[in-house]
Amino acid sequence: MTGPRTVLVLGGTTEGRAAAAELSARAGVRVISSLAGAVRSPRLPEGEVRLGGFGGAEGLARYLRAERVSAVLDATHPFAAVMTANAAAACARTGVPLVVVRRPGWTPAPGDRWHRVGSVAGAAAVLPRLLPAADGRVLLTIGRGGLGAFAGIDATCWIRAVDPPDPPLPRCHTLLLDRGPFTLDAERELLDRVRPHVLVTKDSGGDATAAKLVAARERGIAVVVVDRPAVPAGVRVAGTVREGLDLLL
């Protein structure tokens, strides 16, 4: 007699929670959601949950074997590039099928003043030419990783993140501890209060944090958009959870 199919969902995102809910409702499927454990009080998905890193690709491969995982859905954030690379390597090593869910990135609309850069370091490098010579103001909405790149910036920064970030941080900064989804009215109010010359964001895609782009467009605020890292070559990619599960199961 065969047991249930075990699907590992690499999560920490809206898509991860949606996948867990969908799989939990299916007969003959055991779903395990994995979260990095980086957020103090994460939103938990339905079903079984494990927290914390696996110990690199090697550790994940061991985990896949130990839990007899039959398929992996990588629904991590588009910028969780290390986890996705590890999933690709571990699944290739163990022969476990893998699909990566990548929500589409954002696209600019008329009136947007976007500056696309390849990395968070690139975002920091482009800021001096977008800021006034004195009293520059920057709103950083890239989460709490990578903020060290802005440590040397000669500007006042506002940092929005779910949990307090670790140093190094910009010399002059104010923390805005908050978690999306953010409404357009709330984003308008924030931009009117902070009055940034530049908003910095990752190209996360999705609806939960897109309103800031509309509010910035309305106010003519420059936006530095960090491009997503590429998905490892040869890995199957789906645009939605439904498409990902159809490919995988």
Q: Is 201 in the site for ligand NAP (CB under 6 A)?
A: no
Residue 12 interacts with ligand NAP (CB under 6 A)?
A: yes
**Closest CB to ligand NAP: residue number:** 53
Q: Does 144 bind ligand NAP (CB under 6 A)?
A: no
Q: Considering the rule CB under 6 A, would residue 226 count as an interface residue with ligand NAP?
A: no
Instruction: State which residue, 131 or 224, has the beta carbon closest to ligand NAP.
Output: 224
32-41, long-range: CB < 8 A, 24+ apart = 32/6, 32/7, 32/8, 32/67, 32/69, 33/9, 34/8, 34/9, 34/10, 35/11, 36/12, 36/80, 36/83, 38/12, 38/163, 39/12, 39/162, 39/163, 40/162, 40/163
Measure CA 25 to chain center: 26
Q: Which stretch binds ligand NAP (CB under 6 A): 72-80, 94-102, 165-173, 234-242?
A: 72-80
Q: Which is nearer to ligand NAP, 70 or 76 (CB)?
A: 76
Q: How many residues bind ligand NAP (CB under 6 A)?
A: 25
- Partnered with residue 176 across adjacent β-strands are 160
81 binding ligand NAP? (CB under 6 A): yes
* Rounded Cα distance, 218 and 221, in Å: 8
The 17-56 site mask, x for binding ligand NAP (CB under 6 A), equals -----------------xxx-x--------------xxxx
Using CA atoms, how far residue 181 sits from 40, 134, 206, in Å, is 17, 33, 10
Residues that bind ligand NAP (CB under 6 A): 10-13, 34-36, 38, 53-56, 59-60, 76-77, 79-83, 86, 143, 145, 202
